[in-house]
Structure 1
């Protein structure tokens, strides 16, 4: 199981690197994480289709499923995290609950940041919106340039 960095402590955010996205959980001790996921407990991607996900407590190595993972309490410098015991208790109290799931507003990263900081934040969503906007802008500029050059060439050939 490829852990990058220091071992997790109670209440830590755990980031699992998946192809094309990251999955998130809260470390609750004894090798377990609580996470918002599909029924099988490996991913939240299939939850996007149904609009619902389940809060599960699973072995960290089972959730990693061979992927790398790391402690990533990325907002600790910007926000005060709740005490670890409070984070763990809140996470464990939700195990078994079915929750609404939305890639853009209620995903696994929103779930864990809400538990740790009291605010559901997802940089994956913010980054995807930014990359889409930049990519769309670049595409629009390229199309406008192509249209301009094509029109100019047609006029010159007439």
Structure 2
């Protein structure tokens, strides 16, 4: 298990999807979490999330996690101090998110690189023969019912 460094992206293996967080040091990560009654199930397209700072062990629970800065080969990360500042400024915010276009991976990549990207969403957008109706059905299916998604106003980051 690779020990994370401040500014690293953390990929957490959840059943049926990957949850993403940003390591900020001293055992803590910043990530988006669902709020409200549907916190355990995200079957609707629009939800709200809260940006939280949690211990990595709490955020991951019993799930495996790893450092995954996979976009470093195509995107230039901000300096570590700026990544941490950008993340800390978000803690406590309630943010809307949209299932088909933004997710927790978008959130952390926006903090690290200034650009929101997510392979787990892009893969479904470009899959051969994937019609919009099929994408919507997939998004509403149990496979994606726990994705933590969001939308951030550009002026905040």
Q: Quick check: TM above 0.5?
A: yes
Where structure 1 has 5 or more consecutive residues not aligned to the other structure, the ranges are 137-158
2:113 to 113, 117, 137: 117
| Residue of structure 2 in register with 1:73 after alignment | 69
2:60 to 60, 64, 88: 64
Residue 103 of structure 1 pairs with residue 117 of structure 2: no
C-alpha RMSD over aligned residues: 2.4
Structure possessing the higher relative contact order (Cα contacts under 8 Å, 6 or more residues apart): 2
Structure 1 length-normalised TM: 0.74
1:132 CA drift (Å)? 7.0
Cα-to-partner distance string for 1:98-118 (whole Å, 9 max, x where unaligned): 111112222101000000011
Cα-to-partner distance string for 1:24-58 (whole Å, 9 max, x where unaligned): 00001111100011139xx8963855521110001
The structure carrying a bigger helix percent of its residues is 1
Moved over 6 A (4+): none
Cα-to-partner distance string for 1:104-152 (whole Å, 9 max, x where unaligned): 222101000000011100100011234473699xxxxxxxxxxxxxxxx
Q: 1:45 to 1:77 in 2, by over 3 A?
A: farther
| Residue of structure 2 in register with 1:28 after alignment | 24
Structure 2 length-normalised TM: 0.74
Where structure 2 has 5 or more consecutive residues not aligned to the other structure, the ranges are 136-157
| Aligned residue pairs, count | 130
Point out the structure with max Rg over C-alpha. 1
